[in-house]
Amino acid sequence: MNSYKIKDFNINKIYVFFFFYLTILIGFYFDENALGGAKHDFFFHYGISQQFNINFSDTFLNFGNSEMGMGTRNSPIFWIVIAFFNKLFPFDLLRVLNSLVSILIAIYLYKCLALKFKDQNQTALIFLTSVIFLSPTIRSLSIWPYNLIWGLFFFILSIYYFLKFTDSTDLNLKFKFSLKVLFFLILSSYIHPSFAVFIIYYTYLFYTYFKLSKYSFYLFLFSLILSIPFFFYINLINIFDSFYGAEGLDVSFSQSINLSNKIMVIFTMFLFFIFPIINIKKTFKEIILIKTLPLLIILFFGFLNIYFFNFPYFEGGAFGGGFFHKLSNILFKNNYFFYFIFIVSLFIIYGILSKNFDNFILLILLILSNPQFTIYNKYFDPLIFILFLTLFKLDIENHFFKKKYKFIQLYSLTIAYLLIALFKSHLYAISF
């Protein structure tokens, strides 16, 4: 057992989760909108969903068609469900019921952590899980319904069954768990398409285990059958136009698909969200020991991306860009500080993730999950935090759980981030 154990202090996770959920209900009462754009996004898509009551087929088939005045990257699935429940429940009750997703996320994230960190103190895992209730994304999308948060919930379910898969030694059980992994991942993708990229990670690891066997064939067939409605849908709509460009901004094709923009912003976001968890001293020691060739490759990769970087800054942070990109432009009116943080993030990420090749696959998939021009924090908060604790292959047990101050640090930085988000949304009402 580890040294981080609170003697004579055992709590029920439901009580803790309910306490944090009450803070979301308080935010509900005050129309909290920490993301800035959550309220606007909800009413925009909610307005579209009301058209399902008028003409279901036309609205469904033209949901992502900007020519019909309904341009959106969202899948219509979530909004079809909203339209259905809107007939059964009053508007505010519908929003309150939606807010319960935060508790569901917490429960299954806890179950994931309990599987991943079997020897850790339950209380520590409960409070590690509860930090997500302070996430601006979780809070805002619990209060203002949006498909991303429900997609995240089903994605966490896929992670839970994947951890059950890795934990099991029985072949038949592994196969059953792998089916559940794919089912919940595909379900999450129907709700929020960005999660679809993670099928690459699961498929790679399932193939590594099952090889070219009947189990691999059954998994492929299962995925293919569940994906047929998706292929049918994208054949009916011009989905490319939904991901190209950004509303209210004249963006060229090259700027929209610029990989350097995505790499730099997402890498600095990655550093921002994992900073409270990582072992800084150990990481810097590993960075110092990096050999010459990897060092040169990292520097070349870093400066190459800086050369091609052309993500614009707008006052208030419209179209995203992450915390460090905004901070650099607010304080210094340029990107130089952001460039410095990006180089630092490259070394820290390499030092943390280089222990296992699978980690780099997940990092690449994080980048691919954001094909559009806009790069908002909400797409990666708390996704990066969750992935870091569950799917990334790391050794944080001997560091994080043995250091009581790390929990204080984690909560302090998370609360600070929430307060900044609330202050920013009050000033600009624009998404992070």
pLDDT in tens, 341-363: 999 999 999 988 888 889 999 99
Task: Indicate the burial class of 239 (C-beta count within 10 angstroms; 0-12, 13-18, 19 or more).
Answer: middle
pLDDT in tens, 306-318: 999 988 887 665 6
Q: Which two tokens stand for residue 77?
A: 């699935």
pLDDT at 5: 42
Rounded Cα–Cα distance for residues 191 and 44 (Å): 17
The tokens 């341009």 sit on which residue? 71
Tell me which of 329 and 57 has the higher pLDDT. Answer: 329
Range among 47-56, 198-207, 240-249 rated most confident: 198-207
Predicted confidence (pLDDT) at residue 246 exceeds the cutoff of 80: no
pLDDT in tens, 258-302: 899 999 999 999 999 998 888 877 778 878 888 889 899 999 999
What's the distance, CA 192 to chain centroid? 11
Lowest mean pLDDT among 173-187, 200-214, 403-417: 403-417
Rounded Cα–Cα distance for residues 147 and 143 (Å): 12
pLDDT at 427: 64
Rounded Cα–Cα distance for residues 309 and 47 (Å): 36
Predicted confidence (pLDDT) at residue 199 exceeds the cutoff of 80: yes
What is the pTM for the complete model shown?
Answer: 0.90
Asked if 377 contacts 268 with a C-beta cutoff of 8 angstroms, the reply is: no
Tell me which of 102 and 428 has the higher pLDDT. Answer: 102
The candidate with the shortest Cα–Cα distance to 226, out of 158, 277, 174, 170, is: 158
